[in-house]
Amino acid sequence: MRAMQLTDYNTALELVEREMPIAKAGEVVVQVATCGLNFGDTLLINGKYQEKPALPFVPGMELAGTITQTGEGVGGFYVGQRIAAYCGVNGLSEYAVLRAEVCVAIPDAMPFTDAAAFLITYGTSHIALEDRAQLRSGERLLVLGASGGVGLTAVELGKLMGAEVIACARGADKLALCATLGADHLINSDTDDIRASVKALGGADVVYDPIGGIQFEAAMRACNPGARLLPLGFASGDVPQIPANILLVKNMTVLGFYLGGYAKLHPAALPRSFEKLMAWYLEGRLKPHVSNVLPLERANDGLDLLRTRKAVGKVVVDVGA
């Protein structure tokens, strides 16, 4: 089978031939149709992610496809079934062996492109906003990096959950997309003063931040008393240091969130979230925004779109193309 393999950190992926996988007990083999790329993949390739697989390995944190084998003891899944999976690695290959527990059945009405753009971005935003921040209807939600893969889903879900949504992104075109997904207010991070703009709107009750750096600091200083801040990543490359005195004076809470780690702490949270998200999708209330679909051999181009923050929404690799 063909796969895009990482041989050494900080190098480009190589298109290679690998042995076909075989399902062991508790596993399934999936013929991969599509693989969703995430910013975490770029960190994994640089050896800077929270987890560090042994080299060489095939990146690709989430995939969608069809089960071709089931191992001993696998229940609830069958050969020919369409699934999506939050797998961590192996998505950029024509076949992948996965633990059955990371797979989610998908309906026939969901195209594989949507399925590969769904679990991580929507799962991250939904659990972060509902479980961690406990976002309430009527609260003011500030989304930094609002035009990115997770940012757009936070705008969409925040509006669906009844919040007043402030979208912060780079440039008028990206902000226009945020507006179509329900953002009530738009802030251009290239030209606007984030702190002053948010305070002029009444301050933020919840901050959703995959960016870090100076944007996190500006957002924190624009928070209302009792606000909750969600650091989810540091796309800026700058990990902010948080002044504890500001947290004290404003009675604010910082709630770190990493989907993979949360899944280990609260394994029931992901299936519960995905069930609700899938219902909203089938009702037409959610629609993944995929900006780029590329063939397997162009996976490096897709990763560059994420590194340079040129992607708007999700980048998906069509493995079967």
DSSP 19: P
Which pairs from 238-244 meet CB under 8 Å and 24+ separation?
A: 238/212, 238/213, 238/214, 239/212, 240/212, 240/213, 240/214, 240/216
**Residue 264: predicted pLDDT:** 85
Say what percent of the chain tops pLDDT 90.
85
Q: What is the pLDDT of residue 117?
A: 94
Over residues 227-247, mean pLDDT: 92
Q: What is the dihedral of CA 13, 112, 37, 173, to 10 degrees?
A: 130
pLDDT tens string 242-270:
999 999 999 999 999 998 889 889 888 88
pLDDT tens, position by position, 142-184: 999 999 889 999 999 999 999 999 999 999 999 999 999 999 9
Residue 65 identity (one-letter amino acid): G
For domain 124-258, the CATH architecture is 3-Layer(aba) Sandwich (3.40)
Which sign, positive or negative, has the C-alpha torsion 185, 189, 191, 197? positive
- Unique residue bearing structure tokens 């939050």: 86
Global pTM reads 0.90
Residue 48 has a pLDDT of 84
How is residue 70 written in tokens?
Answer: 């089931």
Report whether 69 contacts 53 (CB < 8 A): no
- CA dist 135 and 137 (Å) reads 7
Query: Which CATH number applies to 2-118+288-318?
Result: 3.90.180.10
309: left (phi over 0), alpha (psi -120 to 50) or beta: left
> Residue 320 is encoded by which pair of tokens?
């079967």
Which candidate, 277, 313, 293, places its Cα nearest to that of 176? 313
For residues 213-238, average pLDDT: 94
Closest CA to 34 of 220, 286, 302: 302
pLDDT at 313: 86
**Strand duo 204-209 + 223-231: pairing:** parallel
Confidence check: pLDDT of 321 > 70: no
pLDDT of 29-77, one tens digit each? Answer: 999 999 999 999 999 999 888 888 999 999 999 999 999 999 999 989 9
Residue by residue, DSSP assigns 106-149 as: --TTS-HHHHTTTHHHHHHHHHIIIIIS---TT-EEEEETTTSH
> Phi/psi of residue 98, each to 5°?
-135, 155
pLDDT, position 311: 86
Residue pLDDT, tens place only, 134-149: 999 999 999 999 998 8
Which pLDDT score is estimated for 49? 84
Average pLDDT of the segment spanning 226-243: 92
- Distance between CA 16 and CA 2 in Å, rounded? 6
The residue type at 257: F
The predicted pLDDT at position 162 comes to: 97
- The domain ranges of the chain are 2-118+288-318, 124-258
